[in-house]
Amino acid sequence: MSKPLVAIVGRPNVGKSTFFNKVTGQKLSIVEDTPGVTRDRLYADAEWCGKAFTLIDTGGIEIKSTDEMWRHIKSQAEIAIDTADVIIFFCDAKSGLTASDYDVADMLRRSGKPIVLAVNKLDVYKEEILFDFYELGLGVPFGISSEQAKGLGDLLDEVCSYFDQVEVDEEADRLKIAIVGKPNAGKSRLTNKLLGYDRTIVSNIAGTTRDAIDTPLEVNGKKYTIIDTAGIRKKRSVEDGVEYYSVLRSLAAIRRADVCLIVIDSAEGLTEQDVKIAGYVHEQGKPSVIVMNKWDLIEKDTHTINEFENKLKVDLAFMDYFKSVYISAATGQRTNKLFELAREVYENSCKRITTGMLNDLVGDAIRATEPPTKNGRRLKIYYAVQDGTNPPAFVFFVNNSELMHFSYLRFLENTIRRTFGFEGTPIRMFTREKGENYED
């Protein structure tokens, strides 16, 4: 049984994101005194007095604004309201009741959903401050302070009274796919295409996506979680605190993902920043797919893909194991291949080679190409073991680690790749001298 959905709704800058972070125990939503910081819906699981539920943080609603971005934010909030089982309507005790509060209240009443009224920023409880909020006609207002965690218990008791105790739905088998890249590469459009609906805001304004947004889905009986991330710009181009934390969340999304789709703008070509992002994915040991987006904008002949591939091989030489695909998120060209490719590279990262097969291969490699020598001493490899997966790691026990030249270690890595097919995933290679403590 799925968990109830609880949407947090209100005008901008009323403290919704602080409440979201406090209740979920995670700093998933950006908190800053800047209206419009939260733009898309953010989901996180929570529990109160044995009752499990999912909180949805939404962007601040400006109903009468004609600005395109505010209209997008309102649209995202409406989706959260439509799917929610209970709505928490946030108002601000410090600024008092406003015309915007009345507008949002009218919109929420039309939903027909249970509404719990929260008056936030009541750091010092004064009941008379709450009297005005009865005018909204939404029942008893709960005075709280999200920042100081005051009054949250009573509020959550009221929220939980609207749904029965539910079982925790474990989704550990979901493959988490992070969609990463620099701003305006088409990540959010690709996310929406994969999901089949507009989950995230798509705009030509760089920096539209500011949070790492998780969305579960199922394709051909297999479960996934798609993580759309904020564009990662060069450090010197990251100016304000909001964007700084957005980049941190994108990097954190890479670390918690099972697979990364590295989205590159084909029309612009591979840039230095694309290479840096790919390098970070590589350093984190994540299997990945290079997704060349906007392929529909490229003038092509029979050699075009080969030219692009050769460019990738040169600039991504440090991760020559990469798999690439040429798509158009706008038209849907080849996007159907991405789930298959993501699962393929993930399975490669989980692959385990038996010690017997590995040592037979290493023996053949040594006979084909002798190990290096240094100062008259030759490297001896006694045996090798696979030390782990995600990413695959191999340990070579040798007579002297200093004799293992990096080029010979690379030769062994390439031999393992060719034989066992570790496409799309990094491999970690280590040496240890015989007699060092080791547990297989």
Query: If you average pLDDT over every residue of the chain, what do you get?
Result: 85
Q: What is the pLDDT of residues 234-287, one digit of tens each?
A: 655 445 444 455 666 677 788 888 999 999 999 999 999 999 999 999 998 999
* Confidence (pLDDT) at 287: 97
* Confidence (pLDDT) at 211: 52
List the domain boundaries for the chain. 5-160, 175-349, 355-433
> Do the domains at 5-160 and 175-349 have one common CATH topology?
yes
435: left (phi over 0), alpha (psi -120 to 50) or beta: left
* Confidence (pLDDT) at 397: 95
**Fold classification of 355-433 (topology level):** GMP Synthetase; Chain A, domain 3 (3.30.300)
* Confidence (pLDDT) at 439: 44
**Calpha distance 221→98 (Å, rounded):** 48
Pick the CATH number of 5-160 from 3.40.640.10, 3.40.50.300, 3.40.50.740, 3.40.50.2000: 3.40.50.300
Under the banding of pLDDT at 50, 70 and 90, the label for residue 30 is: very low
Q: How many CB atoms lie within 10 A of CB 198?
A: 16
Of 62-76, 344-358, 402-416, minimum mean pLDDT range:
62-76
* Confidence (pLDDT) at 369: 94
Under the banding of pLDDT at 50, 70 and 90, the label for residue 25 is: confident
Q: Is the pLDDT of residue 368 over 60?
A: yes
Q: What is the pLDDT of residues 97-123, one digit of tens each?
A: 999 999 999 999 999 899 999 999 998
Q: Domain 175-349, CATH 3.40.50.300 — does that match?
A: yes
Q: What is the pLDDT of residues 177-222, one digit of tens each?
A: 999 999 889 888 998 899 886 655 444 444 444 455 778 888 888 9
Q: What is the pLDDT of residues 40-80, one digit of tens each?
A: 567 778 889 988 888 888 888 887 776 777 777 787 788 78
Average pLDDT value for residue range 391-411:
94
220: left (phi over 0), alpha (psi -120 to 50) or beta: left
SS3 annotation, the chain: CCCCEEEEEECCCCCHHHHHHHHHCCCCCCCCCCCCCCCCCEEEEEEECCEEEEEEECCCCCCCCCCHHHHHHHHHHHHHHHHCCEEEEEEECCCCCCHHHHHHHHHHHHHCCCEEEEEECCCCCCHHHHHHHHHHCCCCCEECECCCCECHHHHHHHHHCCCCCCCCCCCCCCEEEEEECCCCCCHHHHHHHHHCCCCCCCCCCCCCCCCCEEEEEEECCEEEEEEECCCCCCHHHCCCHHHHHHHHHHHHHHHHCCEEEEEEECCCCCCHHHHHHHHHHHHCCCCEEEEEECHHHCCCCCCHHHHHHHHHHHHCHHHCCCEEEECECCCCECHHHHHHHHHHHHHHHCCCCCHHHHHHHHHHHHHHCCCCEECCEECCEEEEEEEECCCCEEEEEECCHHHCCHHHHHHHHHHHHHHHCCCCCCCEEEEEECCCCCCC
Q: Tell me what percent of the residues of the chain surpass a pLDDT of 70.
A: 84
